[in-house]
A and B are shown apart, each in its own frame.
Chain A
Amino acid sequence: AQSVSQHNHHVILSEAASLELGCNYSYGGTVNLFWYVQYPGQHLQLLLKYFSGDPLVKGIKGFEAEFIKSKFSFNLRKPSVQWSDTAEYFCAVRGFGNEKLTFGTGTRLTIIP
């Protein structure tokens, strides 16, 4: 079975600070990995995805994530956050051949102006 852990439940940062949100997954084979963002009152939007190839993936709005297979991790990073990045961030995993996504519990990010 596939599973995802997001250890940071709530992160508070000042504008211009650097961000790293942790994501660890569990699955015994090839995986797809995703980060979704949910702005207050809105639906989930895809930030970035990893399928294969370069383990450093760049997404929208200046976000990037690095897949480290040996650590089963897919941490999300942004060098300088903005107030508009205030949202909830979800990491998700999908094992090869499995259509179901398993989401982490989410990390609420609050950016202080």
Chain B
Amino acid sequence: DARVTQTPRHKVTEMGQEVTMRCQPILGHNTVFWYRQTMMQGLELLAYFRNRAPLDDSGMPKDRFSAEMPDATLATLKIQPSEPRDSAVYFCASGLDSFDQPQHFGDGTRLSIL
């Protein structure tokens, strides 16, 4: 089965450090989404891309977060500098820009900022 692949699965780092999370969408999918999941806020959409172009990043703190798709097989989410409140599970999902297609989620990156 095709799957969305995220790395790393777990990341523990100190406040102020740069964090980079990677996502490999399912081959052929042209939409990519980044979500953050916390106990308090639930699942929040941070950003999404269609055909590698960023369409909406309004859910992302602009001063420290950035999302890119250097090519069709890689999406990245960076936090610089990281803060303890960024601790969460970050999910990537991919899909097709067709109304009748669901999103497929990766296993997530569990991020802990000390």
Contacts and interface: CB of A to CB of B under 8 A. Distances in A.
> A34, A49, A51, A99 — which one has the most chain B CB atoms within 10 A of its CB?
A99
Interface residues of A, number: 21
A67 to B, nearest CB: 14
B62 to A, nearest CB: 18
Interface string A89-110: 0100000110111111110000
Interface of B: 31, 33, 42-43, 45, 48, 50, 55-56, 91, 93, 95, 97, 99-100, 102-108
Contacts of A42: 107
Contacts of B43: 90, 103, 106
Nearest to B110: A41
A43 B100 contact: no
Contact of A49 (B50, B91, B102): B102
Contact of A43 (B55, B95, B105): B105
Interface string A22-50: 00000000001010100000111110010
Contacts of B56: 100
